[in-house]
Amino acid sequence: MSVTVIEGDFVNVDGKYTIVVGRFNAFVVESLLDGALDTLKRHGVKEDNIRVIRVPGAFEIPLAVQKVAQQKKDDAIIALGAVIRGGTPHFEYVSGESSKGVLQVMMDHDMPVSNGILTVNSIEQAVERSGTKMGNKGAEAALSALEMVSMLRQLEA
Ligand code: INI
């Protein structure tokens, strides 16, 4: 008897990927995008198979992600944004609804959607997570997308 383990191995990850990017807090989000693109390319994804779609802010990301999912062209979608807490409750709505929306598309469309939308308390925390001392959450989101594509291909084989 042996245990069957199915997990992504990042080998069989060639395919089509769309990155949906919220422009708000662009100084952070552009670094997340750089990290995601670098990760996809270093794992062998061809530039011609990567699309980047820009929307105004994190709140708009779920609609774009949903439209992309409906096209059924991609193996995975990567959502990138940066929601930074301000002095009003607006943060709670934007961060909560964008994450919920992205999750809903993943479940409704049965395809991997990586949540690379930062929700942080300060600009410093955002900078730390977009390519400095806490890594790059855009790169991590791309890695998650690759792993899920690889895992699903094994599961569905
Ligand atoms: N959008 C973000 O992506 N990050 C934020 O921090 C943010 N804040 O704090 O307001 C933000 N707001 C804009 C929002 O995403 C929509 O674009 C806007 O509400 C119009 O629908």
Q: What is the pLDDT of residues 100-145, one digit of tens each?
A: 999 999 999 999 999 999 999 999 999 999 999 999 999 999 999 9
Taking the centre of ligand 1 as the mean of its atom positions, its distance from the CA of residue 67, in whole angstroms, is 20
Taking the centre of ligand 1 as the mean of its atom positions, its distance from the CA of residue 55, in whole angstroms, is 10
What are the residue numbers of the active site? 90
pLDDT in the model for residue 61? 98
pLDDT in the model for residue 12? 84
Nearest 10 degrees: CA dihedral of 135, 141, 147, 152?
170
pTM: 0.97
Which of 21, 25, 20 is CA-nearest to residue 91?
Answer: 25
Ligand 1 is surrounded, with C-beta below 6 A, by 22, 24-25, 56-60, 81-84, 86, 90-91, 94
- Band the pLDDT of 44: cuts 50, 70, 90: very high
State the average pLDDT for the chain.
96
Q: Which residue has the tokens 């062998």?
A: 44
- Band the pLDDT of 87: cuts 50, 70, 90: confident
Percent of the chain whose pLDDT exceeds 90? 92
